[in-house]
Amino acid sequence: MAQTKYIFVTGGVSSSLGKGIIAASLAKLLQARGYKTTIQKLDPYINVDPGTLNPYEHGECYVTEDGAETDLDLGHYERFLNVNTSQANNVTTGRIYQSVIEKERRGEFLGKTVQVVPHITNEIKERIQQLGKNHEYDIVITEIGGTVGDIESLPYIEAVRQLKWELGDDNALVIHLTLVPFLSAAGELKTKPTQHSVKTLMESGIKADILVCRTEHELSDDIRRKLALFCNVKQEAVIQSIDASTIYDVPNMMLEEGLDKVTLKKLALSDETSPNLTHWNEFLKRHKNPKYEVTIGLIGKYVELQDSYKSILEAFIHAGAANEVKVNIESIHSEFINDTTIQNKISHLDGILVAPGFGERGVEGKIDAVRFARENNLPFLGICLGMQMAVIEFARNVLKLKNANSTEMDPNTPHPVIDLMEEQKEITHMGGTMRLGSWKCSLKEGSIAESVYGTREIAERHRHRYEYNNKYADKLETQGMVSTGINPDTKLVEIVEIPEHPWFIGVQYHPEYKSTVANPHPLFVAFVKAAKEYSKKKNGASLAQ
C-alpha cells in the first residue's frame, strides 16, 4: 500500500479502561483481513523507559527482541498479533525530551528557542511515523497513554491534531475509548462523562471519529443515538465494549460490533475480505473447554499486583489451551514462606514457578520453595531470579556450601554461586544497562530442554545483571544439577536441570515474553503437561488409598 494509514487510540473519563486490549483487538481484526498492522504505545511519564520502575508502580516491564524495556501493553500487542515489536513501538516523554535536549546541545536548532510546539511535537510526530516510513506496514495503530485532560498528555494530543491535519482525509482517524458508567441508585447508564470527555478532546482540536464505550451493561439504541448526537459521530461509530470473561474474547466482540468495518470505511480501505479468525477461535475453544485442571503456585514478591507477572499469567493461558487444561494460578508471596508455613502453602500444588525479581526481599522464601519442589518431586520452573534461587538452594543443601548466595543479596558471601558479570561491575547508571534482548543458547543433547524445544539452538530474551558463576559448574554438575543450555559466545549458563527429578528446570532468560496465542511457549506447554501428569498420579494414588 503506497500510503501508510494511522489510527490513534485515546482514553477518557478513567484510566485502566483497556486501550491496549482495544488497540490489539482492532489490529488483530485488520491483520486477519490481510492488512499488515503494528501498534505503538506513547507513554506520558518522564522516565526514559519502564526499566527502572517498581512493578507496583507500572506492572511488569516487557522486553522486546532488540532489548528495549517497554510498557506491558507491548506484550498484548505481540500475544495478539504474533509479530515482534521493537524500541520504535514504545515512546516515553522522557525519551522525547532527552532526544530534543540532545539535539539542542548539538546546535541542531540553530539558536532557536526550543519549545513544546514545534520542537517537542515534531519529535513526537517523527516517532509516530517512524514505523510507517519504510512502508512495511499498511496500518500503524498508536495508543496514547493516560487520559484526555491530563497535563502530561497534552503534547501528544497536540501532535496528533497536527498529524491528522497533515496526513489529510482518509489517512488518519481517532478512536476515543471512554466509560459509560451504570448508576445503581438511578438504575441507568450515564452518557454525561463521555460527553465531557469528547468535549475535552475537541477543546484540543481533535474530533473523535469512533467512540468505544466501556460498559458493564448493554448499550440501548437510544443511548447510542444520544452519544452519536452529542459527541458528533455517526451511530455506527458508537461501539460497545462490554465486560468480557477473557481478553481473548474482545476481537470477536469488536468484530460483532463492526469496529473493523467502520475503521476501514473511514480510512477508505476495502472491507471485502472477511477476517480469518480460525486459529484464534480454535484457541478460544480449547481455552474455554478444558478437559482437566491443575493448580500451579506462582511464587514471587509482587503478587499483590497481578500485572507484575502479566506475561507469565498469559503464557499459562496459552499453554493451558495447548494442553486442554485449565491452569489455576495460586499467587504465593515468598516473604510468607518459611519452615512452618511451607507445607500448608505448597504441598497441595501440582507445580511451582519461582518468578523473576530484583533485590533481597523474599528470597529465602523462594529458596525454601525450591527445596520443597526438589525434595518432593514437584514439577518446578524457575525463571531468571527463580533459576538463580535453584542454584543457591542446591549449593547450600546438596553441596553443603554454607551461606552460598548471590552477590546481589550478600556481597560478602563465601560462595558466590551467582555473581555479577565483569562488564557489569563498573556500571553506575541503572537504566538500560542489564543484559537485555535476544541471546542465543545451545542445548545439551538428550536434555529435557532439547526435548521441549525440539532443537539444539534457540534464542530467548533476557533482563538481568547477575549470572551463574561458572567456577562452581563442575561441583554442581557432579552432584546432579546439570547445565543444559549455554550461550555459545559468552559461555554463560542459561539453563539448569536436575535429570533425576521428574521435571525440574531453571532458565536465566524470560520465556514468557515470547509466548503468543499462535505460538504458546514450549517451556510453559511442557511445564503444564508435567503438572497435569503429576496431578493425575497424585490423585490416582489418593483414590487408591
Sequence letter at residue 462? H
- Residue 329 vs residues 98, 297, 309: alpha-carbon distances, Å: 41, 6, 11
Residue tagged 558463576 (cell numbers)? 469
Nearest of 221, 211, 234, 236 to residue 189 by alpha carbon: 221
Of 76, 497, 512, 521, which is the active-site residue? 512
512 is catalytic: yes
Q: Helices in 232-335 by DSSP H: which ranges?
A: 250-257, 259-266, 278-288, 310-323
Instruction: Give yes or no for a contact between 512 and 527, defined as CB atoms under 8 angstroms apart.
Output: no
- How many Cα neighbours within 13 Å face the side chain of 514? 19
Q: How far apart are CA 404 and CA 41, in angstroms?
A: 42
Residue tagged 503494528 (cell numbers)? 38
| Those residues with Cβ within 8 angstroms of residue 43's Cβ, 6 or more apart along the chain or in another chain | 50, 71, 90, 91, 92, 93, 145, 146
Binding positions = 15-21, 56, 73, 143, 150-152, 190-195, 226, 244, 357, 385-388, 408, 465
SS (H, E, C) 519-539: CCCHHHHHHHHHHHHHHHHHH
Cα torsion for 492, 498, 503, 504, to the nearest 10°?
-50
Instruction: Give yes or no for a contact between 493 and 481, defined as CB atoms under 8 angstroms apart.
Output: no
Q: Which residues pair with 6 in a beta bridge?
A: 140, 172
Sequence letter at residue 347? S
Of 61, 213, 231, 384, which is the active-site residue? 384
Q: How far apart are CA 16 and CA 440, in angstroms?
A: 36
Binding positions for ATP = 16-21, 73, 244
Residue tagged 509466548 (cell numbers)? 515
188 is catalytic: no
- How many Cα neighbours within 13 Å face the side chain of 235? 8
Binding positions for UTP = 15, 190-195, 226
Binding positions for L-glutamine = 56, 357, 385-388, 408, 465
- How many Cα neighbours within 13 Å face the side chain of 414? 6
Binding positions for Mg(2+) = 73, 143
231 is catalytic: no
Of 76, 176, 510, 521, which is the active-site residue? 510
Residue tagged 547508571 (cell numbers)? 429
Q: How far apart are CA 204 and CA 9, in angstroms?
A: 15
Binding positions for CTP = 15, 150-152, 190-195, 226
DSSP string, 36-84: -EEEEEEE-SSSSSGGGS-HHHH-PPEE-TT--EE-THHHHHHHHH---
Active site residues: 384, 510, 512
